[in-house]
Amino acid sequence: MSSIKNIKDFAKMKQAGQPITMVTCYDYAFARIVSETDIDTILVGDSLGNVVAGYDTTIPVTLDQMIYHSSMVKRGAPGSFIVTDLPFMSYHVSIEDTMRNCGRIMKETGTNAVKLEGGKDFVPVVEALVKASIPVMGHLGLTPQSVHKLGGYSVQGKDEEQRKTILEDALLLQEAGAFAIVLEMVPEPLAKEITQRLAIPTIGIGAGRYCDGQVLVIHDLLGLNKGFNPKFLKRYADLYTISQQAIQTYHKEVKEHTFPAEENVFK
Ligand code: KIV
Residue 108 lies in a domain: yes
CB atoms within 10 A of CB 98: 24
What pLDDT, on the 0 to 100 scale, is given for residue 267? 95
Residue 1 lies in a domain: no
| pLDDT band at residue 2 under the 50/70/90 scheme | confident
**Same domain? 181 vs 242:** no
Residue 201 lies in a domain: yes
Q: What is the pLDDT of residues 205-227, one digit of tens each?
A: 999 999 999 999 999 999 999 88
What pLDDT, on the 0 to 100 scale, is given for residue 3? 78
Mean pLDDT across the chain, nearest whole number? 97
Residue 2 lies in a domain: no
**Same domain? 14 vs 108:** yes
DSSP 87: P
**Same domain? 97 vs 202:** yes
- The C-alpha atoms of residue 32 and residue 30 are separated, in whole angstroms, by 5
Name the residue range of residue 253's domain: 238-267
- Output the residue whose Cα is nearest ligand 1's atom 8: 45
Mapped onto helix, strand or coil, the DSSP state of residue 258 is: coil
**Same domain? 250 vs 152:** no
DSSP 262: G
- Look up the pTM and report it: 0.97
The number of domains in the chain is 2
Probe target for ligand 1 pocket from 30, 46, 142, with the most ligand atoms within 8 Å of CB:
46
**Same domain? 209 vs 86:** yes
Nearest atom in ligand 1 to 47's CA: 1
**Same domain? 23 vs 70:** yes
**Same domain? 164 vs 184:** yes
**Same domain? 248 vs 143:** no
Ligand 1 site, residue 50, Cβ cutoff 6 A: no
Probe target for ligand 1 pocket from 20, 46, 47, 147, with the most ligand atoms within 8 Å of CB:
47
**Same domain? 84 vs 191:** yes
**Same domain? 165 vs 40:** yes
Q: What is the 87 CA–ligand 1 centroid distance (Å)?
A: 11
> 33: domain CATH number?
3.20.20.60
